[in-house]
Structure 1
Amino acid sequence: MKFLIPSTLFLGLSALSALASDLPPGVVSARLLPGWVDQAGNRMSAIELQLEPGWKTYWRQPGDSGFPPSFDWQGSTNLESVTLHWPAPEAIWSGDELTLGYHDRLVLPFTASPQMAEAGSELQLAMDFGVCEKICVPAHVVMRADQPDVRPDPQILTALKRVPVPSDVVPGCHMTPIEDGLRLVVELPQSNVDVAAMEVIGQPDIWVSTPALHSGTQGTSATVELVPPSASPFDLDTEDLLITLIDDAGAIEMQGCSTAG
């Protein structure tokens, strides 16, 4: 989702403190950490958002009413692809409404793969995202990275340790059509789940509700509704479903669910 902002904020790292008064509401600083180049020639870096105390920003799948962030790397040079490594989000409650995101500070690591390994890359990101205190507002920043450091950045390494661990488990599931899409029930492989999230890989235009967790004698299940742009029942390839489970011990991710049985 793109947010239309009347003016573009362009930030070089050296100018951040001087232009702090021009940042979106609730944002203290926004920058690309320089990072380092790994042995394969990829740039390991991170987006850092420092927020005012009490403010929050959203995860990639924010829940029923959050702002999903968007990323535009077209201003970069010698860039083939970017892979984001999202740390496990927090559960943020506002009354009875749950959203997933981060309080106060987000360090979002990414791997930037160059088109030509022997040449350097210049990284520029235009990012649209939401920030909230009592109300939520769209924000837009443009950031450039300085040249990479020689050694890995401990801040980035710490954030990478918080990324959900992939799991080979393929849980069972069943789905039924509803008026504007599908209802999907997934039988979770563990009972001690604090928060669950689901999304459809490569199809961000499919709205997915915040999972409702139900515990019973047969275990714990998570129920979501999926609504495509057509607002009608559709064929879902369950192999494209990404399920994230979060508890006190950390987070895991499972891809796909099985409708057999």
Structure 2
Amino acid sequence: MIKHILCATAMFAAATTAHAGDPFTAPVTAELLSGWQQADGTKVSAIRLTLEKGWKTYWRVPGDAGIPPQFDWSGSRNLQDVSIRWPAPKVFVQSGMRSVGYANEVTLPLMIDAKRPNRPVKINLQMDIGVCKDICVPQRLTLKGTVDPQSTTPTPAIAAALAERPYTAGEAGAATTTCALTPTTDGLSITATLTLPSTGASEHVVIEAGRSDVWMSEASSRRSGNTLTAQAEMVPTTPGALALNRSEMRFTVVGSNHTVDLRGCTPG
């Protein structure tokens, strides 16, 4: 069963729209955008979220003030795998708390692999997301569509969203990423040292442990020249010792000029 997967590409025969079924007028609508099939057989599509003025929704790691998005693809047919190519997010500060996400509108490109590549893929997606203005409210959206494996022409709106991805380490001129782990009463403390040029006057570092059963605190950071140091706490949400694979850790630096996605770290 494919459930709560965060990464992808897909292609739908026609765009469909779904509105959240809440007691008040939903501040967000979701739409499946038609896409194309790549030469390797991967199908490309997207989810477009359109929010009412002043509302925002969240990135895959929303911050302490946000609601993490969840995606349930289990009702789909002939779907082998799907991932979301998240565009670079923004950092919002409200009442002294930071959150990470998108305002007004965001297009989330999808990558879909079919169990039987030459057969249609029937998509039945249930999305649970948070949307915020003066208050934060959960929204449940259901989207359905059929993947069409015929078209090979890229869709401009999806191609534009793919181009909005964060910079890679090489593109940003990043060098080494090291991380020191120190045991604490509840889990581990991590100090990450990122060697990369400034991403702008304001920088927010998001650290992901590479495990879904680990809670990660918001990171504090400081910069000295081309060295950015970030510190955070991680606590396991399930019983047992906390063992981490450094190669699966992820560090996203959201700056006022651009965003950088760094994968893995070495002991430091």
**What TM-score results when the alignment is normalised by the length of structure 2?**
0.83
Q: Indicate which of 171, 188, 191 corresponds to 2:177.
A: 171
Q: Which moved more, 1:33-42 or 1:87-96?
A: 33-42
- Say whether 1:209 aligns with 2:217: yes
1:246-261 mapped onto 2 (5 Å cutoff) = 246-260=254-268
Counterpart contact for 1:34–1:145, Cα < 8 Å? no
* Structure 2, unaligned runs of 5 or more: 5-13
CA-to-aligned-CA distance 1:143-188 (integer Å, 9 cap, x gap): 0125548332111111101112332644122121222221111112
* Structure 1, unaligned runs of 5 or more: 3-11
Distance (whole Å) between structure 2 residues aligned to residue 134 and residue 71 of structure 1: 25
Distance 1:232 1:180, change over 3 A: farther
Aligned twin of 1:188: 194
Distance (whole Å) between structure 1 residues aligned to residue 239 and residue 226 of structure 2: 32
Shift of 1:136: 1.0
Q: Secondary structure at the match of 1:107?
A: strand
Distance (whole Å) between structure 1 residues aligned to residue 107 and residue 65 of structure 2: 23
Aligned length, in residue pairs: 248
Distance (whole Å) between structure 2 residues aligned to residue 217 and residue 29 of structure 1: 43
> Identical aligned pairs, as a percentage?
32
Distance 1:24 1:187, change over 3 A: farther
1:240-251 mapped onto 2 (5 Å cutoff) = 240-251=248-259
RMSD between superposed Cα atoms in Å: 2.7
CA-to-aligned-CA distance 1:218-256 (integer Å, 9 cap, x gap): 832011111111488723222221111222442221111
Shift of 1:24: 7.0
Aligned twin of 1:158: 160
Q: Secondary structure at the match of 1:116?
A: coil
Distance 1:74 1:64, change over 3 A: same
Shift of 1:68: 1.0
Distance (whole Å) between structure 1 residues aligned to residue 88 and residue 15 of structure 2: 26
**What TM-score results when the alignment is normalised by the length of structure 1?**
0.85
Distance 1:140 1:23, change over 3 A: farther
Distance (whole Å) between structure 1 residues aligned to residue 34 and residue 168 of structure 2: 27
Q: Which amino acid aligns with 2:219?
A: P
Counterpart contact for 1:109–1:156, Cα < 8 Å? yes
Shift of 1:65: 3.0
CA-to-aligned-CA distance 1:1-59 (integer Å, 9 cap, x gap): 99xxxxxxxxx95565xx68868754342121121222222220111111111111110
Q: Secondary structure at the match of 1:62?
A: coil
Aligned twin of 2:107: 107
Aligned twin of 1:48: 48
Distance (whole Å) between structure 2 residues aligned to residue 248 and residue 242 of structure 1: 20
Q: Which amino acid aligns with 2:43?
A: R
CA-to-aligned-CA distance 1:110-161 (integer Å, 9 cap, x gap): 1011111111212221111111111111111110125548332111111101
Counterpart contact for 1:33–1:47, Cα < 8 Å? yes
Aligned twin of 1:92: 92
Q: Secondary structure at the match of 2:160?
A: helix
Counterpart contact for 2:215–2:236, Cα < 8 Å? yes
Distance 1:97 1:232, change over 3 A: farther
Q: Which amino acid aligns with 1:192?
A: S
Distance 1:41 1:200, change over 3 A: same
1:24-173 mapped onto 2 (5 Å cutoff) = 26-145=26-145, 148=148, 150=151, 151-167=153-169, 169-173=175-179
Counterpart contact for 1:164–1:250, Cα < 8 Å? yes
